[in-house]
Amino acid sequence: MPLLDVLRRLGPQPTLQDWPGLINAYRRWLPVSKATPVITLREGATPLIPAPVISERIGRGVKVLLKYDGLNPTGSFKDRGMTMAISKAKEAGSEAVICASTGNTSAAAAAYARRGGMRAFVLIPDGYVAQGKLAQALLYGAEVLAVQGNFDRALAIVRDVADRYPVTLVNSLNPYRLQGQKTAAFEVVDALGEAPDWLCIPVGNAGNISAYWMGFNEYKAAGHSKVLPRMMGFQAAGAAPLVLGHTVDNPDTIATAIRIGNPVNKENALKARNESKGDFMAVTDAEIIEAYKLLGSGEGVFCEPASAASVAGLLKRREEVPQGATVVCVLTGNGLKDPSTAIEHNDSHFHTGLDPDTATVARVMGF
Ligand code: AN7
C-alpha cells in the first residue's frame, strides 16, 4: 500500500494530516528532482467511495466505486496536473502561465500559479463557464479573458500566444499535466489492491483518460497490479467528436466542462481505448442529469454534470458489465462548481415564502 508507505516514511505515527501532496507522495514516478520547487496544496489522496445504490442498479454482484476527485483543493482533478505543471514552470524560471479552459483548468491554474508567485492568464468561453469556477479564477487572482468563441477557439489562441510570448502553456498539451494526473490511477490501484475491471470516465479534451491509462500501465509494469481496466470514455452527445470520429464545430451540452469539439489528446485517448479493448460512447444531457441526480440523492455525492457522464455511461452499458466486476467511475469535479444546474435540476421539494410559525411548518411537513 504505497499511500501508507509514504506516510510511514514521515514518522512513526503518521496521520492523514501528513499527506504531503501527490508530487512528494509519488515522487519516484514523476519527472521531478531535488531542484524542482514543489508547489502544492496537498492535492490527491481523494476517496474511493462505494456506490451501493448504483451497484444495485447494475446488479449481478457488480461493485461500483466513485473516485471522488472533486475533493481536491480547487474541487477538481485538474489540481493533480497543475501541481506538476506549475512546479516545473517555476523550476524553469517562468513568471507567467496561460491556459484555455471550460472552467476547472482555469481555477487550478490560477490557484497554483499564484501560490508559486506567478501570473495566471486564463481564457474562457464567454458565458459558458459555471459560476463557481469563474468565482475561483477571479478570487485566486487570475487575469480572466473571456472570448466570444468556444473552448477549442480559445485553446488555439492560447497555443499561439504561448509560442510567441514568454508565458508557459499549462493546458494538457503540457506533458507535465498528464504526469501529475496519472497519480489518480495509482491511488485507485493502491486502494483496491488491483486495477478495476472497468474504468468509466468523462472525456472532453481527452487528457484525463490518457493519463489514467499511462498510470495503470506504469503500475502494472512495476508489479502493483496484474490486470488493466477496460477504459470506457463517455462524451456528451452534443460534444462527442471521439464517438463521431470527427471534430464538432459547435459543441453543445449542459455539461459545460466537456463542451469541447476538437480534443487535443485524441491520439492518446484512441490508444487507451484500443489497447484496453474499451469504448467511447455518447450520453445525452437527459442521461447526464439523471445520473447527476441519482448520485446526489441516492449516494449523497455531489458532482458536477460533466462528472456524472461517467455514471450515465455505466448505466447505459450496464448489461455488458461482467458478473461480479469492480467498476470505478471517475467523478472529476465537485458539484459546488455549478450551483445553478443543481438548483434547476433536482427532484426535491422547495417550499418558499412560508409564514414563520410552527403550524405552517408542521402542515407543510405533512403532520
Ligand atoms: C469536471 O477545465 O477541459 O478529457 O478546461 O472539468 O481531460 O479534458 C475540463 C475538463 C471532465 C474532461 N470533467 O477531462 C477545462 C477542461 C470535468 C472537467 C473533464 C473536464 P479531459
Q: What are the average pLDDT values for consecutive 10-residue runs of the chain, which has 367 residues?
A: 66 79 96 98 98 98 98 98 98 98 98 98 97 98 98 98 98 98 97 98 98 98 98 98 98 98 98 98 98 98 98 98 98 98 97 98 97
What is the 80 CA–ligand 1 centroid distance (Å)?
A: 12
pLDDT of res. 2:
63
pLDDT of res. 16:
73
User: What number of other Cβ atoms are within 10 A of residue 196's Cβ?
Assistant: 27
pLDDT of res. 12:
73
The full DSSP string for 194-261 is S--SEEEEE-SSSHHHHHHHHHHHHHHHTTS-S---EEEEEEEGGG-HHHHTS--SS---S-GGG--S
**CB of 307 sitting under 6 A from ligand 1:** yes
**CB of 132 sitting under 6 A from ligand 1:** no
**CB of 102 sitting under 6 A from ligand 1:** yes
pLDDT of res. 14:
75
Q: Ligand 1: which atom is nearest the Cα of residue 104?
A: 2
What is the 213 CA–ligand 1 centroid distance (Å)?
A: 16
**CB of 123 sitting under 6 A from ligand 1:** no
Q: Which amino acid is at 330?
A: V
**CB of 76 sitting under 6 A from ligand 1:** yes
Grid look-up 499564484 returns: 114
Mutate to test the pocket of ligand 1, among 79, 104, 169, 307 (most ligand atoms within 8 A of CB): 104
Q: Ligand 1: which atom is nearest the Cα of residue 100?
A: 5
pLDDT of res. 13:
76
Mutate to test the pocket of ligand 1, among 208, 214, 292 (most ligand atoms within 8 A of CB): 208
pLDDT of res. 57:
98
Q: Ligand 1: which atom is nearest the Cα of residue 333?
A: 1
Q: Which amino acid is at 185?
A: A
pLDDT of res. 266:
97
C-alpha–C-alpha distance, residues 224 and 193, integer Å: 8
Mutate to test the pocket of ligand 1, among 205, 209, 283 (most ligand atoms within 8 A of CB): 205
What is the 320 CA–ligand 1 centroid distance (Å)?
A: 26
What is the 318 CA–ligand 1 centroid distance (Å)?
A: 24
C-alpha Rg value of the chain to the nearest Å: 21
Q: Per the confidence metrics, is the pTM higher than 0.95?
A: yes
